[in-house]
Copies of this chain bind each other. A is one copy, B any other.
Amino acid sequence: MVQKKIRNMEEFAAVSGISRPTLSKYFNDPDSVRRSTRHKIELALKQYDYRPNVFAVNQNRRKTKNIGVVVPNLADPFFSEIGREVELACISAGYSPILLSSHGNPSQERNNLESLRSLKPAGVLLAPFGRVSDHAEIESFNKDVPVVLFDANIEGICEAFVGTDNFQSVDLIVEYLCRSGEPPCFFEMKSPTNPNANKRRQAYLESMERHGHTPHIFQAEGSEWNFEEIGSAEGGRFLSENAFKTNTVLCSNDRLAIGMLSAAFRQGRRVGHGEGCDLRIAGHDDHPFSRFTCPSLTTIAQDYAAIANRAVSTLFRILDADERLKQREETQFDGKLVMRDSA
């Protein structure tokens, strides 16, 4: 069944017996044509595999069916996971996601937005760096294309933010740690670019106060993305110097915790809450590898799927209504405590 190759919509109109404007309507929205013509078209589509030329289609449209998805670093499994969820949600809504990683480089974030501009996306889902992001650029971008932030919030910018409630989640694990042993110290990066890190520190301070304990914060030098390395080197240093005031350390995120666990192992420390253990380490994020650390890492699980879906649905609400939200929305999902062996 060798069919004549269809070169354009004109030719497809000829073989399908449907006029070109109607076909154009159909490809724009299959439900916008009469049921019977839709059947005719789809029958013809099976015989002759024709697809509208993507570039010609988008040339005239002011908005495309593209959704930009920008994450700070795909090498971080957290973002590859949530990026995937977001991608899937976009596809099932009939949009084409374009996933861009900023490779841990804030200036790349600007580049990515810049390239997205020329792709005329209908909307953008952005997980920003935070403090080091180009706020002005993002704000200006949002004027042209609706942007929904996820994971990391930038106060007052863009249409909406979807993430995890760090105050709830940190309080949850602090409460658990206090209840089940010595109150935790807090281990983090010295100058985190990520706003979540700042919130977690704040949440730790408030939570400790609420539970009537003295907070102890330990900060690691370094500003790169190699958190494991930093957790291992700096966390290991604190450990070997016996700097921590209690036998329990809450790390600002799992990657730091993974590094610290490796340092603890090297130093022969017994980590965990069981018999013969003298150190407890906990994290935050439920990193895909946290189940396989030694010992497995007690942490907070963020609801990846919920965050991704809410971010996407919020964006689509804007796109469907074809107007911006009356008011900026912030959604924060609860984290869940994942009790494993390390604390």
Q: CB within 8 Å of B: which residues of A?
A: 51, 53-56, 58-59, 74-75, 77, 80-81, 83-84, 96, 98-99, 101, 103, 115, 118-120, 228-229, 232, 258-259, 261-262, 265-266, 288-289, 291-296
CB contact between A54 and one of B118, B259, B262, B265 (< 8 Å): that residue: B118
Q: Across the two chains, which residue of chain B brings its CB closest to A103?
A: B84
Given the interface contacts A118-B54, A294-B261, does A84 sit within 8 Å of B59 by beta carbon?
no
With both chains docked as a complex, state the minimum distance between the C-beta of A116 and any C-beta of chain B, in angstroms. Answer: 11
The 9 nearest A-B residue pairs measured at CB: A294-B294, A265-B294, A262-B292, A55-B59, A55-B58, A55-B55, A75-B80, A74-B80, A228-B292
A84 to B74, CA, bound (A): 9
How many copies of this kind of chain does the complex include?
2
A293 to B292, CA, bound (A): 9
CB contact between A293 and one of B51, B56, B101, B262 (< 8 Å): that residue: B262
With both chains docked as a complex, state the minimum distance between the C-beta of A136 and any C-beta of chain B, in angstroms. Answer: 15
* B contact residues around A228 at 8 Å (CB): 288-289, 291-292
With both chains docked as a complex, state the minimum distance between the C-beta of A302 and any C-beta of chain B, in angstroms. Answer: 16
CB contact between A292 and one of B55, B84, B232 (< 8 Å): that residue: B232
Q: Which of A98, A228, A293 has the most CB of B within 10 A?
A: A293
Given the interface contacts A74-B83, A288-B75, A289-B258, does A295 sit within 8 Å of B56 by beta carbon?
no
Q: Which of A83, A293, A294, A295 has the most CB of B within 10 A?
A: A294
Q: Across the two chains, which residue of chain B brings its CB closest to A88?
A: B103
Q: Which of A51, A98, A262, A266 has the most CB of B within 10 A?
A: A262
Task: Determine if A54 and B119 form an interchain contact, defined as CB atoms under 8 angstroms apart.
Answer: yes
Given the interface contacts A74-B84, A293-B262, does A56 sit within 8 Å of B59 by beta carbon?
yes
Q: Across the two chains, which residue of chain B brings its CB closest to A271?
A: B294
Task: Determine if B262 and A294 form an interchain contact, defined as CB atoms under 8 angstroms apart.
Answer: yes
* B contact residues around A229 at 8 Å (CB): 291
CB contact between A262 and one of B53, B55, B262, B296 (< 8 Å): that residue: B296
A266 to B55, CA, bound (A): 56
Please give 13 more A-B residue pairs, beta carbons under 8 A apart, in addition to A74-B83, A258-B289, A265-B294. A54-B119, A55-B56, A55-B58, A55-B120, A75-B80, A75-B84, A80-B80, A84-B101, A96-B115, A98-B98, A258-B292, A262-B291, A262-B292
